[in-house]
Structure 1
Amino acid sequence: MNDFPISTLDLFVIGGYFLIVFGIGYYIAKRIDTGEDLFLAGRSLMWGTIGLSLFASNISSTTLIGLAGDAYSTGIAVSNYEWMAGLVLVFMAFFFIPFFIRSRLTTIPEYLEKRFDVRSRKYFSGLTVFTSIMIDAAGGIYAGTLVLQMFFPDLPFLWTAFGLAGVAGLYTAFGGLAAVVYTDVIQAVILFIGSVIIALITFAQFDFSWAQATAALPDGHLSMIHPIDDPEGRLPWLGTLVGVPVLGFYYWGLNQYIVQRVLGAKDLKQARWGALLGGLLKLAPLFIMVLPGAWALSLYPNLENPDLVFPTLVTELLPVGIVGLVLAGLVAAIMSTIDSTLNAASTLITVDFVQPAKPDLTAQQIGTLGKWVTVVLMIVAALWAPMIREFPGLWNYIQSVLSFLVPPVVAVFLLGVFWPRMGKNSAFITLTGGHALSLVVFAFWVTDTLQLHFTIVAGLLTVLCIGLAIGSALAFDTQPAQEKIEGYTWANRTIEPEEALPWYKDYRWQSVAIVGLTVVMLVVFW
């Protein structure tokens, strides 16, 4: 790690951020009483809060470091994960969010019980808890600790990890989702401002000349679309077409720690508007996070590690005080990931496992239980984070491993909504059998017997899981009972008249705008 000097003013800026976060957590904690308050902010969230929180929770420390580093080493194709989120959230606003809001879900796995049975709900919930704590929360703590050590080399790893987990865990435990989303609003603003400043100052190094900024870059470095056999190992076009949407649908539509703020919306309108605001914001990372990393190749061509791109841009280009603001944004990204995953995992354990086993618990008891579950999960994630150092190969494959975990879940939810014939047996068979199939394919892939980009593998596995679901439904399921499909499938949905709204408030026109902007980006950076 390089020695990155931090001024006293920068430290004061970072300290001020922590005081604000604690203040918000303390204020909101006094208003938390029931489980619904803790887990869904009393179903009172408005669209602006939802959209900003979606953006902040997604932009983790690994995202800030990883986007810039990957753009530096391979080009801007990594931004395909970012703009695809906008299209996925448009899809969610039309087809899935209405089911989630009208069913008054507290957890996403709860939909599987309403549509199929409790087996599928508990299976998916257990899987989500595991990935939330052992991958998302612990991974966020681990990456955040490494990033802070870049700037403060004398920080001890273990105590820094516990410090990050403690700050995020305590205000999450006692403030719940409300504390998470309202601190996320601040975090999103800081993240956005800091990233814009870095992008502008980086572009200024080339006199704000696009031709000058791109002249020294390798061929294809500023192209989003690459061939399947790209020699640089960049994201291939087929992976963008069939794999990235699968990963995006799971992450933005079925991942509890992301979708929880949509479930906490005041009503369907606020949920849709919030999701679409999040989709609009996801078009920005190309310009404020990815392109600066790509331009850094011209400014600092001999960096020994791509992960040093972001801290190098911060410390080499930004003035004193602004460095503190950007580092506060980095801390914000770390905290936002940790708090969201802890709150989501606590919700899943309490609502999907404890509450069904103890139905006599009062709303206040559920809220208290959820707080203590969050504290326990915080400790588990903090203890596991240092262990990640012993498995560097495994954690390099985190994104690719998700390509093997996601397809069965995506297949079940897609067919569950769009194919009423699918029943409880085929849903459970697809989840368990699909993951068995994924394990076999992973064994071939990790040994290089199957030489395909992991995004292509994700698309192929999803197709196979859909085939497994259809076959097992026809073989092992009878026609599902009416209460399992009425209101839970697209063909049997409750159709309510759309409220007359001005065009700029109509989610359909908002969706058209997001799709249009995405198409323009693709044309420009094809």
Structure 2
Amino acid sequence: MEYNLGVIDISVLVLYFIFIVWFGIRSSKKGSDSTSDYFLAGRNMTWPVIGFSLFAASISSTTLIGKSGDAYSTGIAVFNYDLISVLVMVFFAMFFLPFYIKSGIFTIPEFLEKRFDKRSRYYFSFITLMGSTFLDAAGALYAASLLMKLVFPSLSIMELSVIFAVIVAAYTIPGGLSAAIKVDLIQGILLLVGTFILTFLAMRNGGLEHLKELLLNEDMMMKLIRPLDDPSVPWLGMIVGIPILGFYFWGNNQVLVQRVLTAKSIDHGRKGILLVGFLTVSLIFIIIFPAVIGKHLFPGLPKNDMVYPKLVIELMPIGLLGLMLAAMVAALTSTLSALLNSVATLFTMDFYVKFKKEPSQKEQVYVGKIVSVIVLILAVLWVPFVSKFDSLLKYYQEMLTYIAPPVVAVFFLGVFWKRINKHGAFWGLIAGAFAAIATIVAKVGFNHELLGSIHFLLKVPFYFVFSAVVIIIVSLLSKPDDKTQIEDLIWTKKIYHEETKELEGVPFYKNFRVWSLILIAFCFIVLYMYQ
């Protein structure tokens, strides 16, 4: 599938990229030689900026390309990943976010050192660095290049990957997170506007009638709750699998949480999370439904992942086509920008600062910029390997199945149970790693599934429970950590009561708990409508 853009659309696309690079450089925070300014945008961002930035950064290649491809083939069940994750966001904002912000951390692994010790910090930081570079960054480059390959067929995937890497580097590396977040704000709004326009056009071209017909016929394509043997999202996986993966994505993922750490206060951070929660629910209308309509309009596509680009190219009028392509690429470049910031922060704060004696803040920022360049080069070189996977979404999900559960177990037990100690946390992570390695070796080397042929969502709780058991046993068999060093990092009922007292004089429309309940209710309404 190829398409030759007209002069107007090409002009819109090129002008947009020029504007984004100019705006990003112009928005670079003055005095960015400060580590707080460069890596965390001065910790003074407000909730609307955080919310839209998170939304833009979270619309990765797996969302825009992968999820639409899954919706094209199996229906709306793939939206369960977003719907359940919104509930996880509320949980994260309520219980974990305050500890992250109050502790003054730069990275999520840094929190592990504060709660446990440096062993857990180094381990988690290392696997995050590897995953962000070879899984996320390369995936984002590949997806953006795949999209632009449709309109610039003479360019190879590698050539397009280099172009996108240069564009993102131009505004992300000089200006740091402050520039990236401000660019994300624009790109998030553009993405919403563009996708809503596409949804409207898809509905007008027979899509609305098709969706009504599917609903009236109780077609499985329009059902969120599926049988236990469903190949897409079995109902049990919604309960025991997605919450764990969702918490890793929203609560332990440096790429996204780093944007929340820029909040000027806990309240702004929480409201930013709730805003992105509401925006995430909209994905069923702006990505999932159009993909289902695409099945009706363009049956038999050679590759499911191409349904959203096909909708854009076939339905968007001149001018708006260029804008929509810009919006789609914006989503992917926002993800890449977020990845560069997070990897630079992880390496600098978790490794360089620890092993280099008292580096100046200017030196730390310089190292962060060098790391960003290296990561981009590695990601570009890794793009050909990503292209070998049939579905970006399945590629990402399978890796998360192995990576997420041990990490979530450590964070969850560490915040809610003071008896969990540094030895339990570290060996729980190591045990989870060995379980993952054993699974991969058995599958690749011996063509054998250790947990059988069950859905990967149903494998997630096994890895979680295995790691949790190791964490608990090792902790109980070893000496407790010093209570005075960890008491400020453990959740207690006292914290809840103190927050309740603080909220007594706050108007209901400014109360994050009220908006949390509204968001939860909204999710269950959607689930009920499409059960």
Q: TM-score, normalised by structure 1?
A: 0.95
Residues 1:204 and 2:204 are matched in the alignment = yes
Amino acid at match of 1:255: N
* Residues 141-220 of structure 1: pairs in structure 2 closer than 5 A: 141-206=141-206, 208-209=208-209, 212-214=212-214, 219-220=219-220
Amino acid at match of 1:106: F
Contact conserved, 2:38 with 2:177, CA < 8 A, in 1?
yes
Structure 1: distance between partners of 2:76 and 2:29: 45
Q: Which region of structure 1 is more displaced relative to structure 2, 261-270 or 376-385?
A: 376-385
Amino acid at match of 2:70: D
Q: Which runs of 5+ in 2 are unaligned?
A: none
Aligned counterpart, 2:2: 3
Aligned counterpart, 1:96: 96
Q: Which runs of 5+ in 1 are unaligned?
A: none
Aligned counterpart, 1:332: 330
Residues 1:225 and 2:225 are matched in the alignment = yes
Structure 1: distance between partners of 2:484 and 2:116: 10
Contact conserved, 1:228 with 1:238, CA < 8 A, in 2?
yes
* Residues 350-429 of structure 1: pairs in structure 2 closer than 5 A: 350-389=348-387, 396-429=394-427
**Structure 1 residues 501 and 387, CA gap change in structure 2 (3 angstroms):** same
Aligned counterpart, 2:510: 505
Structure 2: distance between partners of 1:452 and 1:47: 41
Structure 1: distance between partners of 2:56 and 2:211: 32
* Residues 243-254 of structure 1: pairs in structure 2 closer than 5 A: 243-254=241-252
2:472 to 470, 473, 497: 470
Give the deviation of 1:106 after TM superposition: 0.6
Amino acid at match of 1:155: L
Aligned counterpart, 1:481: 482
Contact conserved, 1:52 with 1:185, CA < 8 A, in 2?
yes
Structure 2: distance between partners of 1:99 and 1:63: 29
Give the deviation of 1:170 after TM superposition: 2.9
**Structure 1 residues 5 and 175, CA gap change in structure 2 (3 angstroms):** same
Aligned counterpart, 1:455: 457
Amino acid at match of 1:26: I
**Structure 1 residues 170 and 401, CA gap change in structure 2 (3 angstroms):** same
Q: Which region of structure 1 is more displaced relative to structure 2, 384-393 or 101-110?
A: 384-393
Amino acid at match of 1:487: D
1:517 to 504, 510, 522: 522
2:262 to 261, 264, 271: 264
Root-mean-square deviation (CA, aligned residues, Å) is: 2.0
Aligned counterpart, 2:80: 80
Residues 1:314 and 2:315 are matched in the alignment = no
Residues 1:19 and 2:18 are matched in the alignment = yes
Structure 2: distance between partners of 1:208 and 1:220: 17
Determine what percentage of the aligned residue pairs are the same residue: 39
Amino acid at match of 1:158: M
* Residues 269-280 of structure 1: pairs in structure 2 closer than 5 A: 269-280=267-278
Give the deviation of 1:198 after TM superposition: 1.1
Contact conserved, 1:5 with 1:315, CA < 8 A, in 2?
no
Give the deviation of 1:364 after TM superposition: 2.0
Cα deviation, 1:18-54, whole Å, max 9, x if unaligned, reads: 1221112221336122111110001011100100011
Contact conserved, 1:216 with 1:298, CA < 8 A, in 2?
no
Amino acid at match of 2:454: L
Structure 2: distance between partners of 1:311 and 1:367: 38
2:342 to 341, 344, 347: 344
Structure 1: distance between partners of 2:374 and 2:304: 35
1:284 to 259, 282, 287: 282
Structure 2: distance between partners of 1:100 and 1:453: 33
Q: Which region of structure 1 is more displaced relative to structure 2, 204-213 or 310-319?
A: 204-213
**Structure 1 residues 258 and 478, CA gap change in structure 2 (3 angstroms):** same
Structure 1: distance between partners of 2:71 and 2:455: 18
Structure 2: distance between partners of 1:239 and 1:303: 28
Secondary structure at the aligned position of 1:29 is classed as coil
Amino acid at match of 2:482: A
Q: Which region of structure 1 is more displaced relative to structure 2, 266-275 or 438-447?
A: 438-447
**Structure 1 residues 54 and 207, CA gap change in structure 2 (3 angstroms):** closer
Secondary structure at the aligned position of 1:151 is classed as coil
Aligned counterpart, 1:112: 112
